[in-house]
Amino acid sequence: MTIHHLSDAELAGQPAAYWTGLAYEALTAFTRARQAEFGFTQPQYWLLRNLSENDISPDGQGMTIPELQQAMSSYLRPEDDLAAESEILLERGRLTRDAEKRLWITEAGDQARADLKRHAPGIRDRIHQGISDTDYVTALKVLRQMIRNTGGATA
């Protein structure tokens, strides 16, 4: 028996944390590779989204790197370097920085954010290939219940 040919009974006995960990790493690597093909990194995209009043930012106000790190704390990876990523966006004219070291999205940055966002459905479609919305929703409901069962928060 290999891990690729497990029966339903054998799958039922598998540890969820193992499989969710594998899924997290594979999905993150896939998403980041697709984004790199379009010339940007996931942290760069997150910076633009968090600074755009047309996206995540509630008020379009500038933010410092520590403020952005706090805002993104639930999804930043340890290797994500927002300071270095913001420097690239500054060089490309997608961000500016004021005297208080707050980063602000530029018009070009907001256009780049909108352009990058157009790729998200294609990436999602590739990830969801062969999976019905019903099965996907069921999987998420199961994961959310497991999170609740272990005292975690489901935002």
Q: How confident is the model at residue 5 (pLDDT cuts 50, 70, 90)?
A: confident
pLDDT (mean) for 42-66: 95
Greater pLDDT, 53 or 1: 53
From residue 11, alpha-carbon distances to 129, 146, 149 in Å are 21, 16, 20
From residue 58, alpha-carbon distances to 7, 52, 53, 71, 155 in Å are 48, 8, 6, 12, 18
Q: How many CA atoms lie within 13 A of 137 on its CB side?
A: 3
Say what the pLDDT of residue 1 is: 42
The gap from C-alpha 29 to its chain's centroid, in whole angstroms, comes to 11
Question: Using CB atoms within 10 A of its CB, is residue 97 exposed (0-12), middle (13-18) or buried (19+)?
Answer: middle
What would the pLDDT profile of 11-31 be if each residue is shown by its tens digit? 899 999 999 999 999 999 999
Strand residues in 28-68 grouped as ranges (E): none
